[in-house]
Structure 1
C-alpha cells in the first residue's frame, strides 16, 4: 500500500510570512519519510469542516509548483480540482507544465465541484450539478485529446476548442494519471470506469468502502474494463503519536503506528491501493519519524484481489 499526504491547513503562526517556509519543510519531510505523494486541496476559500472561509488558502497549482522545486521524487496533485475552476485546455496545460517541471511527477485530480460560496464570492459561474457533470466529461475528453498530442478541433456542448495544441507534452507516459474524486455510484463511477486511472473516496469505514468499490467494479465491467486497472484511493485522517490515545492540540485523539497500520490493513482488505492521509500536525517535524515507520509497515499491505 502506498501512502500520501494531503495538506489542507495553512494558517500557521506567523502567516502569511510563515506559510512558504512551513509548507516547504512539509514537502521535504514528506518526501524524506517515504510518502509517495503530496496533495493540496483546490479551493480559493477555506472549506467548512476545516475552518472558516476567511482562513488562509493557497492556489493549488502554484503551491504544487513550489513543492516540485523543493523535492525530487514525491508525486504531486490537487485533491481535487473542481471542473468549474479552469477552462479544460488551460487545466491540461497547467498539469502538463507541472509534470514537465517536476520531471514527470504530476497527477490530474478532478471532480464535479461543490463549493458554491467561493464561486459566488469570486464571480465564477457555478452551473447546476447536471451541467457540471457534463462539463466534467467534456473536460476529460479534451485533456485526453491534448495528452494524446492530437491538436484537432474539439466541439462539445459546453466547450469549443479550435486547436488542442499542447507543447511540450507531459513527460509521464502515457500521460499524467487521472484521479476522479467522488462517491457517486452513477455519474462519478461511470466516469472513473471510462476515463480514470484512479478513484478517490472518503474513508467511510472498510465495509462501506468495500461496498462502494464493488459498485465501481460493476461500472468497469459494464464498459468492458478490468477494474484492477483502476487504483483505488481513499482520503483518510490520522494523527500519530508514539503511544496513541493522547489528545492532540486539534482535539483529535492520536493513534500509534501499530493502530494506524491495523486501520490501513482493513482498508487494504476492502480493496484500497493508496491511502492519502490528512494529519492535524504535518508542520511538526518530529512526527515524520513515525510517518516513515508507518510507510514501511504499510508497504507490504496489498489490495484484496491483487
Structure 2
C-alpha cells in the first residue's frame, strides 16, 4: 500500500512558506509517494472557509520541486476550465522538466461553480466540461509524444501544439472523480490512475466503482491492471499510526493500492511523520 499526502489547507497562522516547505520535506523523508496540492483559487476544503489562504497550484508545486528531490508532485485535481489546455499541459511539462521527472497530471472536469462566479472563471455545462476534458487528455498525450500536427477538437483548435522541451518522462495521468458513465470511461481510455473516495460502507461503493472501470477497460480493449487505483481518505486529528494503518489494511481487499491522505486543517511535520510510521506498519 503506497501512501501520499494531499495538501488542501494553507492556513498556517505565522509562516506559511516555512511550514509548507517543512511539510514537503517531511513527506519526502517519510517515504511518501506523492505530494498533491488542491488546484483552486479560493479555499474549498470543507473544514476551512472560502476566505482562508489558498495558493495557486503550479507555482506552489514549482516551489516544492526546488525543496525536494524524490517525491512526486501533482494536483488533485486541475479543472480543465481554469486554463487553456496548451497552458495547462505546458505547466505540467515545465514542472516535470524542472523537477527531474516528478510531475503527476491530476485532472478533472471541475465542480465548483461558486468559485467560478467569484473569480470570473468559465464554467460551462457539465456535458461541455467532459468534452473539454477529453480534448485536453488527447492533446496532452500528443504533445508529450512530440506530435506537433494541427489539433482540431470541438472546443479547442491548435495550429501547431509545440511541446518543447519534452517531459523527462511522460507524466502519469490521474483523472479525478468516479462517475460511471463518463469519468470512468475516460479513465479506461486515457488515464494511468483513477481516484475514488473512502465511503464508510465497508468497501461496497469502491468495489462497485472498480467493477464499472473494469467493464470500461474491457470495452476499450485495455488491461484493467494497467490502471493504478487510488483512494482519497483522511487522517483524523490525533490519530495514531497504528489506527490509520488498521483502516488501510482493507483497501487492497477492495482493489486499492494507493491512498491519498488529507487532514483537517493544515498539515504539520508531526502528522506527516504519523503517515510515514503507518507506511512502515503496512509494509510488514
Fold agreement, TM-score > 0.5: yes
Structure number with higher relative contact order (C-alpha < 8 Å, ≥ 6 residues apart): 2
TM-score, normalised to structure 1, is 0.89
Report the CA distance between 1:255 and its aligned residue: 2.8
Residue aligning to 2:17: 20
Match of 1:210 among 187, 207, 219: 207
Query: What is the CA–CA distance in structure 2 between the aligned matches of 1:28 and 1:156, rounded to whole Å?
Result: 41
Q: Is structure 2 residue 226 aligned with structure 1 residue 229?
A: yes
Say whether the 8 Å CA contact 1:112–1:136 is kept in structure 2: yes
Say whether the 8 Å CA contact 2:8–2:266 is kept in structure 1: no
Q: Once the two structures are superposed, what CA deviation does each residue of 1:217-265 show, in whole Å capped at 9, x if it has no partner? A: 11111111111000000110013xxxxxxxx4xxxxx432222112111
> Alpha carbon RMSD of aligned pairs, Å?
1.3
Residue aligning to 2:239: 255
Q: Describe how 1:1-306 pairs up with structure 2 within 5 A.
A: 1-14=1-14, 18-47=15-44, 49-172=46-169, 175-205=170-200, 206-239=203-236, 248=237, 254-280=238-264, 283-299=267-283
Report the CA distance between 1:51 and its aligned residue: 2.0
Say whether the 8 Å CA contact 1:25–1:283 is kept in structure 2: no
- Structure 2: runs of 5 or more not aligned: none
TM-score, normalised to structure 2, is 0.96
Query: What is the CA–CA distance in structure 2 between the aligned matches of 1:287 and 1:182, rounded to whole Å?
Result: 26
Query: What is the CA–CA distance in structure 2 between the aligned matches of 1:288 and 1:10, rounded to whole Å?
Result: 15
Say whether the 8 Å CA contact 2:9–2:45 is kept in structure 1: no
Report the CA distance between 1:291 and its aligned residue: 2.3
Report the CA distance between 1:292 and its aligned residue: 2.0
Report the CA distance between 1:140 and its aligned residue: 0.5
Equivalent residues, number = 282
Say whether the 8 Å CA contact 2:27–2:273 is kept in structure 1: no
Q: Once the two structures are superposed, what CA deviation does each residue of 1:98-157 show, in whole Å capped at 9, x if it has no partner? A: 000000000000001011112112212110000000000011011111011000000111
Q: Secondary structure at the match of 2:65?
A: helix
